[in-house]
Amino acid sequence: MVVTRATSEVADLDHDQLARMAIRVVIENWHGHATVPSRRLYPHQWSWDSAFIALGLQHLAPSRAAVELLSLFGAQWADGRLPHIAFNPAVTDDAYFPGPSFWRSSWLEGHPPIDTSGIIQPPVHAIAARAVMDRLGSSGLDFAARAYPALVGQNSYIRERRTVDGLAVVVHPWETGLDNSPAWDEPLRAVPADLSLFESYTRRDIDHARSSERPTDEDYARYIRLALAYRDAGYDDDWVRSSGEFVVVDPGFNGLWAWSELALAQMARGLGRNPDRHLSEAERITTALVDQLWSGARGIFLARDTRPGVLLGERTVAGLIPLVLPGLPDGIPTALCATLTGPSFCAGQPGVHGVPSFDFTDPRFNSRRYWRGPTWLNTTWLVAEGLRAHGEDALARRLCDDMVALVAGAGFREYFNPRTGSGHGTNNFSWSAALLLHVVAEG
Ligand code: DGY
What is the residue-wise DSSP string for 31-48? -SSSB-SBTTTB-SEEHH
Question: Residue 351, class by beta-carbon neighbours within 10 Å (0-12 exposed, 13-18 middle, 19+ buried)?
Answer: exposed
Counting atoms of ligand 1 from 1, which one is nearest the CA of 85?
A: 7
Counting atoms of ligand 1 from 1, which one is nearest the CA of 41?
A: 2
- DSSP readout, 200-234? T----HHHHS-GGGS--HHHHHHHHHHHHHHHHTT
Q: How would you list the strands of the sheet with 310-312, edge to edge?
A: 248-249, 303-305, 310-312
Beta bridge pairs of residue 248: 170, 305
Between the CA of 50 and the centroid of ligand 1 the distance, in Å, is 14
- Where are the extended beta strands (E) located within 313-372? none
Task: Name the residue of 40, 179, 205 whose CB sits within 8 Å of the most ligand 1 atoms, as the mutation to test its pocket.
Answer: 179
Shortest CA distance to 268 belongs to which of 278, 260, 254? 278
Task: Name the residue of 38, 40, 42 whose CB sits within 8 Å of the most ligand 1 atoms, as the mutation to test its pocket.
Answer: 42
213 lines ligand 1 (CB under 6 A): no
Q: What is the pLDDT of residue 345?
A: 98
Between the CA of 353 and the centroid of ligand 1 the distance, in Å, is 24
84 lines ligand 1 (CB under 6 A): yes
Counting atoms of ligand 1 from 1, which one is nearest the CA of 42?
A: 2
The phi, psi pair for 37, rounded to 5°, reads -60, -40
Shortest CA distance to 215 belongs to which of 253, 184, 256? 184
Whether the CB-CB separation of 132 and 263 falls below 8 Å is answered with: no
205 lines ligand 1 (CB under 6 A): yes
179 lines ligand 1 (CB under 6 A): yes
Between the CA of 205 and the centroid of ligand 1 the distance, in Å, is 8
Q: What is the DSSP letter of 85?
A: E
Run of H or E residues at 248: strand 248-249
* Distance in angstroms (rounded) separating the CA atoms of residues 355 and 401: 12
Amino acid at 297: A
Nearest CA to ligand 1 atom 4: 174
Counting atoms of ligand 1 from 1, which one is nearest the CA of 84?
A: 7
Between the CA of 177 and the centroid of ligand 1 the distance, in Å, is 8
| Close Cβ partners of 220 (under 8 Å, ≥ 6 residues apart) | 203
Query: Among this protein's residues, is 330 annotated catalytic?
Result: no
Query: Among this protein's residues, is 414 annotated catalytic?
Result: yes
Beta bridge pairs of residue 33: none
| Close Cβ partners of 408 (under 8 Å, ≥ 6 residues apart) | 9, 10, 13, 18
Between the CA of 371 and the centroid of ligand 1 the distance, in Å, is 11
Between the CA of 414 and the centroid of ligand 1 the distance, in Å, is 12
Q: In the Cβ-directed half-sphere of 126, how many Cα atoms lie within 13 Å?
A: 26
Rg (alpha carbons) of the chain, rounded to whole number: 20
* Distance in angstroms (rounded) separating the CA atoms of residues 177 and 275: 28
Between the CA of 60 and the centroid of ligand 1 the distance, in Å, is 27
**Coil, strand or helix at 77:** coil
* Distance in angstroms (rounded) separating the CA atoms of residues 388 and 330: 16
376 lines ligand 1 (CB under 6 A): no
**Segments of the chain scoring below 50 in pLDDT:** 1-11
Counting atoms of ligand 1 from 1, which one is nearest the CA of 214?
A: 3
Q: What is the pLDDT of residue 13?
A: 58
- Catalytic one among 115, 175, 179, 219? 179
174 lines ligand 1 (CB under 6 A): yes
Run of H or E residues at 312: strand 310-312
Task: Name the residue of 87, 174, 184, 357 whose CB sits within 8 Å of the most ligand 1 atoms, as the mutation to test its pocket.
Answer: 174
Q: What is the pLDDT of residue 22?
A: 97
Q: What is the DSSP letter of 4?
A: P
